[in-house]
């Protein structure tokens, strides 16, 4: 595990690197022990394309809540098929029918305890189960500094609560940078994505602070 000083030095060295260079650095850090996570939502094709271009067989961890729109599932299917992604799908242990009966629908943010439990059930537990099974040392994400208050205090490389090396190659990119990459590589963009654990785009879903 890196010390704070080591992390600072690593981030200083990577700050002026391109996202592709950062992905190459991350994948080679522990060969065969890196994965990239995705929810196939807005601009997720960027990180998937970057990682696939470096390692076509990199595991893609998808914690599918089961609450995605048909547009998201359609985009995911097309992207997985087109790039032959090595996708690993982990789903909640409970069905949508059970969740609907138990919670009476998706809990609102005002229902703090129920919403926290729902988040753990449909997202955190499947994701943590995926990490345990795939056992990576490096976790590549699409986090960006300008997305939320929590993310603005991170950096390109950080450590997860469990000690995983978390690498965010597009951390310093803007929305315009992401859109330009999508356009230049003719990549799909799923803008009708819905995260039942997040609701507000500026709110954390609990995954990154909790894992």
Question: What pLDDT, on a 0 to 100 scale, did the predictor assign at position 154?
Answer: 83
Instruction: Report CA Rg, the chain.
Output: 17
Instruction: Give yes or no for residue 16 having a pLDDT over 70.
Output: yes
User: DSSP letters along 21-40, please?
Assistant: HHHHHHHHHSTT-EEEEE-S
> 165-167 and 157-159: which strand pairing?
antiparallel
| pLDDT number for residue 76 | 96
Kind of pairing, strands 59-63 and 157-159?
Answer: unpaired
- Distance of alpha carbon 87 from the chain centroid: 13
User: What does pLDDT average to over the chain?
Assistant: 92
Instruction: Give the contacts of 197 (CB within 8 A, at least 6 positions apart).
Output: 65, 115, 118, 119, 122, 123, 205, 206, 207
pTM, full prediction? 0.92
- Nearest CA-CA partner of 193 in 67, 82, 77, 8: 67
Q: How confident is the model at residue 18 (pLDDT cuts 50, 70, 90)?
A: very high
Average pLDDT over residues 63-75: 95
Q: What is the mean pLDDT of residues 21-48?
A: 97
pLDDT at 205 over 70: no
Q: What is the pLDDT of residue 202?
A: 62
Judge contact between 67 and 107, C-beta under 8 A: no
pLDDT at 147 over 90: no
In the predicted model, is pLDDT for residue 14 greater than 80?
yes
Contact 39, 170 (CB under 8 A): no
Distance CA 93, CA 167 (A): 28
**Start-to-end CA span in the chain (Å):** 16
Distance CA 46, CA 18 (A): 13
Among 156, 146, 172, CA closest to 22: 156
Domain range summary for the chain, segments of one domain joined by +: 4-210
pLDDT cut 90: percent of the chain above it: 80
Please give the angle made by the CA atoms of 91, 196 and 102, to the nearest 5 degrees: 70
Range with the poorest average pLDDT among 34-38, 152-156, 177-181: 152-156
Whether domain 4-210 has CATH 3.40.50.620: the reply is yes
What pLDDT sits at residue 68?
94
For CA atoms 204, 23, 135, 79, give the dihedral sign: positive
């Amino acid at each position: 595990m890196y010390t704070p000083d080591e992390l600072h030095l690593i981030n200083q060295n990577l700050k002026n690197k391109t996202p592709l260079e950062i992905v190459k650095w991350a994948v080679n850090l522990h060969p065969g022990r890196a994965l990239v996570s995705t929810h196939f939502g807005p601009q997720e094709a960027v990180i998937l394309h970057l990682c696939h271009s470096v390692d076509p067989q990199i595991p893609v961890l998808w914690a599918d809540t089961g609450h995605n729109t048909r547009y998201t599932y359609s985009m995911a299917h097309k992207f997985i098929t087109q790039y032959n992604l090595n996708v690993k799908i982990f789903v909640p242990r409970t069905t949508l029918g059970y969740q609907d009966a138990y919670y009476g629908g998706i809990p609102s943010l005002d229902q703090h305890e129920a919403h926290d439990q729902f988040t753990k059930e449909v997202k955190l537990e499947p994701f943590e189960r995926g990490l345990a099974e795939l056992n990576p040392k490096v976790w590549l994400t699409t986090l960006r500094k300008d997305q939320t208050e929590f993310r603005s205090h991170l950096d390109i490389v950080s450590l997860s609560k469990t000690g995983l090396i978390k690498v965010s190659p597009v951390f310093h990119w803007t929305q315009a940078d992401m859109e330009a990459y999508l356009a230049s590589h003719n990549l799909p963009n799923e803008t009708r994505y819905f995260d039942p654990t997040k609701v507000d785009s500026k709110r954390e879903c609990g995954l990154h602070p909790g894992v």
